[in-house]
Structure 1
Amino acid sequence: MAGGGGAVGEHYMRVIRGDDGYGDDGGQHQEKPGAAVSVAKGAAAAAAAGSMLALAGLTATGTALALIVATPLLVLFSPVLVPAAFAASLLAAGLASSGALGAAAVGVLAWMYRYLQSPSGEHAPAGAGKVEHARALLDAKAHDVGDWVQHRLDQART
């Protein structure tokens, strides 16, 4: 579909392309901006790009200087810093996993509460049908095992 249209709608595509006539002044087209406006826009863009490039350079220089200054300190204190970093990472991993497991437990408890509070079939939470099906299968299997055990006991008695 070159040019758009189709399922989206031709009017919508004309609006997107800007050829819908909105903003026209009765067929009189305004002139394109002059060269002075284009030069001013270019100068503003160049100034913005230059200042951002200068800030990026200053940031890179500061990072390199900080690394140069900090490297001897890191080497001197590495027998302390490496185990401390390892312990801190273990602590962070433990806290993150604890929080994730706690959130999962709260979600399961909320699901169970909604499941137990809902009348059978009405406004049951997602997955309640699967839980009921699994419960019915377990119940049937338990009865089958009970019947099998009873049958084996009867055979053993005779």
Structure 2
Amino acid sequence: MPDQTRTGTYGSSYDTNVNVNHDTPSRQTIKFLTAATIGVSLMLLSGLVLTGTAIGLIIATPLLVLFSPILVPAAFVLFLAASGFLFSGGCGVAAVAALSWIYNYVAGKHPVGADKLDYARGVISDKARDVKDRAKDYASYGQGTTTGSTY
């Protein structure tokens, strides 16, 4: 059998045969009943969770009010400590990533962004060369226009 390549155009026989729905009415009914059963079960479960949360909050409110002078500062201290650890860890990860990038760049492995760095270095060296040339031009212009007068 010769090798036939598919053109992939819309409306080919393959595309139209794939999307044909072969569901019978009894199969659709089973799908609907399954979906309805799952949906009702999940709605009941969410209602029970909401009711349990409300009851728990009602029971815990007096305890939270009584212990709030202790809990609020403790929560604040825990938040500050956790955020400090996360920040220091993030800085450590950033430092390791930067050192890894620098090592790869120096080793000649061409890490991501190295081409932009090389381009920026070239632009800066071109501008520095232009400034140097202009400074020389202005210096020679300034030496040629001075008449020897001092201030």
Q: TM-score, normalised by structure 1?
A: 0.60
Q: Which residue of 1 aligns with 2:146?
A: none
Letter in 2 for 1:33: T
Where in structure 2 are there 5+ consecutive unaligned residues?
1-7, 140-151
1:71 has 2:69 as partner: no
| Equivalent residue, structure 2, for 1:48 | 38
Deviation at 1:138, TM superposition (A): 10
Q: Deviations over 1:30-87 (max 9, x none)?
A: 7x513x4443333222211111111000100111011111111111111110001101
User: Which SS does the other structure have where 2:110 is aligned?
Assistant: coil
In structure 2, C-alpha distance between the alignment counterparts of 1:128 and 1:23, rounded to whole Å:
51
The match for 1:123 is 110
Amino acid at match of 2:70: V
Residues 114 and 79 of structure 1, relative CA distance in 2, 3 Å threshold: same
Q: Which residue of 2 aligns with 1:156?
A: none
Q: Which residue of the partner structure matches residue 155 of structure 1?
A: none
The 1:48–1:9 alpha-carbon spacing in structure 2 relative to 1, beyond 3 Å, is: same
Identity %: 35
**Structure 1 residue 139 displacement after superposition:** 7.9
* 1:106 matched residue in structure 2: 96
Offset of 1:92 from its aligned partner?
1.6
1:43 to 1:111, Cα distance in 2 relative to 1, 3 A: closer
- C-alpha RMSD of the superposition: 3.5
- Structure number with greater CO (CA < 8 Å, separation at least 6) is 1
2:17 counterpart letter in structure 1: G
